[in-house]
């Protein structure tokens, strides 16, 4: 019995419990896929499901990774001094926050889905772009003030 388990493990690459758990996840996903296959929009759902992972891994991540690299190169050694506050992070943090807000609240900022928005709320989406820009400006300003204060504090000591 133990020999059989060991042989399974060597061939499969993990204990049988591993396979059992994965079969569980695939069963649920497969059952849902079969169930939704009859829906006329099932293809779109699949595209959005797989597309969400692809968009994150091969679009979003390379974009923010590259942006960070460019920023680091632009600031050079000034960006991350041996001691004292890092200018790099005082640019990174507001930029990341602004980017995140853009992603999360993108429909309002870009005024997507105007007719459904109007039907639901009786309003338009006009203020959101300006608000996002103002929040972004406020974040960078706060970060700049924070940087100046931290530098002043570091030099005083």
- Please pick, from the candidates 67, 107, 140, 150, the single residue that binds another protein as defined by CB under 8 A: 107
- Establish if 72 lies at the interface with another protein (CB under 8 A): yes
Sign of CA dihedral 13, 14, 18, 20: positive
Give how many residues touch another protein by CB under 8 A.
68
- Residue 11 CB, shortest distance to another protein, in Å, is 4
Cα of first residue to Cα of last residue in the chain, in angstroms, is 70
Task: Count Cβ atoms below 10 Å from residue 107 Cβ, excluding itself.
Answer: 14
How large is the greatest C-alpha to C-alpha distance in the chain, in angstroms? 72
Which residues touch 124 (CB under 8 Å, ≥6 apart)?
111, 114, 117, 118
Measured distance CA(99)–CA(109) in Å, rounded: 12
Residue appearing with tokens 């049988």:
16
The interface with another protein within residues 11-40 (CB under 8 A) comprises: 11-14, 18-19, 21-22, 24-29, 31-32, 35-36, 39
Which one of 67, 128, 147, 151 is in contact with another protein (CB under 8 A)? 128
Asked whether 88 and 72 are in contact (CB, 8 A), the reply is: yes
Binder among 67, 96, 142, 144 for another protein (CB under 8 A): 96
* Residue from the set 90, 91, 95, 109 that interacts with another protein by CB under 8 A: 109
What distance in Å separates the CA atoms of residue 59 and residue 61, rounded to the nearest whole number? 6
| Nearer to another protein among residue 126 and residue 148 (C-beta) | 126
Query: Which residues are near another protein by CB under 8 A?
Result: 10-14, 18-19, 21-22, 24-29, 31-32, 35-36, 39, 41-42, 44-45, 48-50, 52-53, 55-57, 61, 72, 79-80, 82-83, 86, 88-89, 92-93, 96-97, 100-101, 104-109, 112-113, 116-123, 127-128, 131-132, 135
């Amino acid at each position: 019995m133990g020999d059989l388990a060991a042989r399974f493990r060597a061939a499969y690459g993990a204990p049988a419990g591993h396979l059992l758990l994965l079969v569980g996840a695939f069963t649920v996903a497969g059952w849902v896929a079969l169930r939704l296959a009859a829906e006329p929009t099932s293809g779109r759902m699949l595209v959005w499901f797989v597309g969400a992972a692809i968009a994150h891994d091969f679009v979003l991540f390379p974009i923010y990774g590259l942006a960070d690299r460019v920023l680091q190169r632009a600031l050079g050694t000034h960006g991350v001094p041996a001691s004292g506050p890092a200018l790099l992070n005082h640019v990174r943090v507001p930029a990341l926050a602004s980017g995140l807000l853009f992603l999360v609240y993108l429909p309002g900022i870009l005024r997507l889905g105007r007719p459904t928005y109007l039907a639901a709320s009786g309003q338009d989406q006009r203020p959101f772009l300006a608000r996002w820009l103002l929040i972004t400006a406020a974040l960078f300003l706060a970060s700049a003030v924070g940087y100046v204060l931290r530098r002043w504090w570091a030099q005083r000591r």
